[in-house]
A and B are shown apart, each in its own frame.
Chain A
Amino acid sequence: MQKTGSGKKILIVEDEANLLDVLGDEFTVSGFEVFKAHDGEEGYKLALEKHPDLILIDVLMPKMDGITMFKNLRKHEALKNIPGIILTNLNDTQTIQDAIESGAYDFLVKSDWEPKSLVKRVQEKLGLNS
């Protein structure tokens, strides 16, 4: 199980420190290299710096919201193809529409998911066998 992450780089952007830690631990345990950011700005900088293989992004965050952050990232040629998963507790139609328009490939409602199943989902996306 520990090898399934194969050292892939995951960036998690989440302002709720508690959730960030739990999710970070789960990915670390699964063999991913995890980078954590607490707001959109920090997430943006880390993404430019680390070039992660996948980004998990919350929407409502201080300084810069997740959707704006992801849109900004996709302006960079090198980061254009990084898959993004919007992970939020907002599920109104406007947010979903914004998320899809930003180019994120998945939109997940946080409270419907457990860390373990999130890891599985990411592994599937990255073509890793669990």
Chain B
Amino acid sequence: MKNHLAKNIAIGLVLLVVYVVAGKLGLKLAFVNASATAVWAPTGIALAALLLLGFRFWPVIFLGAFLVNLTTAGSALTSFSIELGNTFEATIGAYLVTRFAGGKQAFEQPRDIFKFAALAGIVSTAIAATIGTLTLALGNLADIGQIDKIWLTWWLGDMGGALLVAPFLIIWSSFTWPKKIRAGKFFEMILFLIMLILVYQIIFGKTPWAGRHYPLDFLLVPLMLWAALRFSRRQTVTAILIFAALAIWGTLQGFGPFTSGSFDTSLLLLQAFLVTVGMGTLTVSSLITRQQELQDNLISYNQQLDQEKIKDEALLASIGEGIVATDEAGKIILINKSFEDLLGWKEQQVLGKHTLDILKMQDEQGRNIPEKQRPLIQAFSSGKKIIVNYYLLRKDKTKFFATITTTPIVLGGKVIGVIKIFRDISKEKEIDKAKSEFVSLASHQLRTPLTVIKWHSSRLLDNWGKRKAFSSEARKKSIQEIYDTDQRMLDLVTAILNVSKIDLGTLAVEPENIRLENIAEDVLKELRLGIQGKELKVKKQFSPNLPRVLADPKLIRILFQNLLTNSIKYTPKGGQITCSIALKDKNFLISVVDTGIGIPAGNGKRVFEKFFRTDTARNIDPNGNGLGMYIVKAIVDVAGGKIWFESKENQGTTFYVIIPLSGMKEKTGVKGLAESYS
């Protein structure tokens, strides 16, 4: 607050000094009456001060006017009256300009310049002149016969201050240092100043024709137009002021077209001329500046638009879906990068073409979609969004399955085009097909054991009590079948659940620091009954330096269970099974070798497919579900490993599994895989 007050007092003092000095200088040019001078700069200073600094500075103006007039003539009362007039003039001028002419911004719009000239230049000055003249008359300080001339001098003097000095101060108040002045502009400015002085010399200088009153003042017009057209408002108003100062000087020296009988008249004529030219010039300058600003705005707006367009284009190009927009006739007006990539067409090949000629669609049976059923046509006729799944034909006639969304662009209730978005859904369709196949196979697999249970139990029920037809031995056999089949079904359900977890990607992986060979040993122990039953020889070859590994023990257990169970199942009595784990490069190499029936050639990768079983395997064990190796493969994938096999029919099979030493990464899923207990 204190700082603020101090600052205001400082500003007030400066203003006071400036005002008083300008007033004293102005009074030196008073000829008709000591108080009514033909060039009265303080009016402009006061007006500008109140507009720029605020009305609260009026006391400074009042004090300034008092100091100026005190030393001039008359009593304190008449001085007071004149001061009042001056203060009133500035205040009412500033008020009117603020209210009607844009205040500080009065010189930005030609309209406001005219208002400024009328309000601050004519109205308020007339008020001050009237008050001042009346005061002089009433105080007997002026010759009553000259009262009209005094009034006119006063009025025009103030008007000169208001219209020549105030604009200069107001326009310069918004001065900031330019970042850079171009050399060309600088030289033009120098050239202009030279011309200004030259024109001044021609009009107001001591020339051979001086005193002949040639109306050479028109020479100023092109010069001022130059300033208005080529320079900024600030430079223009400065030029006006410089020229005005020179012109006044020249006229006082008795040169130029305005010299007449008295200095007063000369100055008044000059002032009228300068004010007219000055205001005109400022108006043109303001128009030009305005136009320049508009042009700059337009350019920057255009640049902004260009930027936006580049952004929009980048955005469109980055969208994975193909996009095409059409006009109201269905002709293509826009496509994106994905459209080009997905369909093989280039932008310039399709723009302006009809959508129906470029985008060919077929149904799942490969039949072309008739025009009536095309989403484009339907979107146009219904005005609604249409979503379809069809094959889209590429430029080279190959096709892919896509989901196509066609949305009409509605403007004012009319469809003015459509926008189509399409996405390759071949993968989704494939997954969908695989899923329905899985459901179909799984239901078949589940129905088979259910049928066995049903048929056996129905036979038992039908033959209840018929001991002759159905021996107790046969009954026991049936019940045993029902029991075994039930167990088989439990295993199947577990396996199917595991497979669905794998397929849905919800399989959890919970790695622990384990030893693979320990798990292999455990599994072999669990399977010893089967091994003994078939008199199989089992060899274990575990490298002595095997490190621990981060792996999910349950998954590793299922892996060994499947590999070893298969070997035992498909190896004839007395055969041999070798389970080995070694280090190779940065991996564990697990191999399970048997001397079994082998996998017939040509079954290659199908072994790892869901529900796939070789004919030979079916012959040995019709009850297998064909899911084991699929699950094993999934486990190996989880570990980032590899699985493959070598086999010869009736000689044996070797399965190889590679598990990286880095092991498995943790993955939280719904659940881990469940073991089967058959």
Contacts and interface: CB of A to CB of B under 8 A. Distances in A.
Given A19-B452, A115-B458, A62 B481 contact: no
Interface string A60-103: 10110000000000000000000000001110100000000000
A16 B622 contact: yes
Interface string A96-130: 00000000000001110011100000000000000
Task: Name the residue in B443, B454, B481, B619 with the highest tally of chain A Cβ atoms < 10 Å from its Cβ.
Answer: B454
A101 B440 CA distance: 20
Interface string A14-47: 0111110011011001000000000100000000
Contacts of B458: 114-116
Contacts of B454: 111, 114
Contacts of A63: 615
Given A18-B485, A63-B615, A116-B462, A110 B451 contact: yes
B469 interface: yes
A18 B483 CA distance: 13
B346 interface: no
A6 to B, nearest CB: 20
Nearest to A89: B447
Given A62-B619, A116-B462, A19 B455 contact: yes
A90 B622 CA distance: 17
Given A89-B447, A110-B447, A22 B618 contact: no
B496 to A, nearest CB: 15
Contacts of A19: 448, 451-452, 455
Given A19-B455, A22-B459, A115-B455, A90 B450 contact: no
B455 A90 contact: no
Nearest to A29: B469
Contacts of A110: 447-448, 451
Nearest to A94: B440
Contacts of A109: 447
Contact of B440 (A22, A23, A90): A90
A89 B451 contact: yes
B573 interface: no
Contact of B444 (A26, A39, A89): A89
Interface string B601-630: 000000000000001001100100000000
Contacts of A16: 448, 451-452, 622
Interface residues of A, number: 24
B501 interface: no
Nearest to A110: B451
A114 B457 CA distance: 10
Nearest to B474: A25
Could you say which of B440, B448, B450, B458 has the most chain A C-beta atoms within 10 Å of its C-beta?
A: B448
B622 A15 contact: yes
Given A29-B469, A111-B454, A92 B447 contact: no
Contacts of B456: 18, 22
Nearest to B456: A22
B195 to A, nearest CB: 98
B501 to A, nearest CB: 24
Contacts of A89: 443-444, 447-448, 451
Contacts of B443: 89
Nearest to A118: B455
Contact of B450 (A29, A111, A114, A115): A111
B401 to A, nearest CB: 19
Report the contact-size class of chain B (Cβ under 8 Å from the partner).
20 to 34
A114 B452 CA distance: 10
A111 B447 CA distance: 6
Contacts of B622: 15-17
A114 B444 contact: no
A68 B327 CA distance: 55
Contact of A22 (B444, B447, B455): B455
B444 A60 contact: yes
Interface string B442-476: 01100110111011101100100000010000000
Nearest to B485: A18
A23 B615 contact: no
Nearest to B459: A22
A93 B644 CA distance: 35
Given A90-B444, A110-B447, A111-B447, A26 B618 contact: no
Contact of A92 (B440, B455, B469): B440
A15 B621 CA distance: 11
Contacts of B440: 90, 92
A90 B443 CA distance: 8
A24 to B, nearest CB: 11
B459 A111 contact: no
Nearest to B484: A18
A58 B110 CA distance: 100
A110 B450 CA distance: 9
A111 B618 contact: no
Nearest to A22: B455
Contacts of B619: 62
Contacts of A60: 444
B484 to A, nearest CB: 9
Interface centre among A18, A22, A39, A62 (most CB of B within 10 A): A18
A62 B615 contact: yes
Given A60-B444, A89-B444, A111 B615 contact: no
Interface string B517-559: 0000000000000000000000000000000000000000000
A87 B440 CA distance: 16
B481 A18 contact: yes
Nearest to A90: B444
A23 B455 contact: yes
Contact of B618 (A15, A29, A92, A114): A15
Given A16-B622, A29-B469, A115 B459 contact: yes
Contacts of B452: 16, 18-19, 22
A2 B452 CA distance: 24
A26 B458 CA distance: 11
Contacts of B459: 22, 25-26, 115
A62 B618 CA distance: 7
Interface in B359-417: none
A25 B618 CA distance: 23
30 contacts: A15-B618, A16-B451, A18-B452, A18-B456, A18-B481, A18-B485, A19-B451, A19-B452, A22-B455, A22-B459, A23-B455, A25-B459, A26-B459, A60-B444, A62-B615, A62-B618, A62-B619, A89-B443, A89-B444, A89-B448, A92-B440, A109-B447, A111-B450, A111-B451, A111-B454, A114-B454, A114-B455, A114-B458, A115-B459, A116-B462
Given A90-B444, A110-B448, 6 more contacts: A19-B451, A22-B455, A62-B615, A62-B619, A89-B447, A111-B447
Interface of B: 440, 443-444, 447-448, 450-452, 454-456, 458-459, 462, 469, 481, 485, 615, 618-619, 622
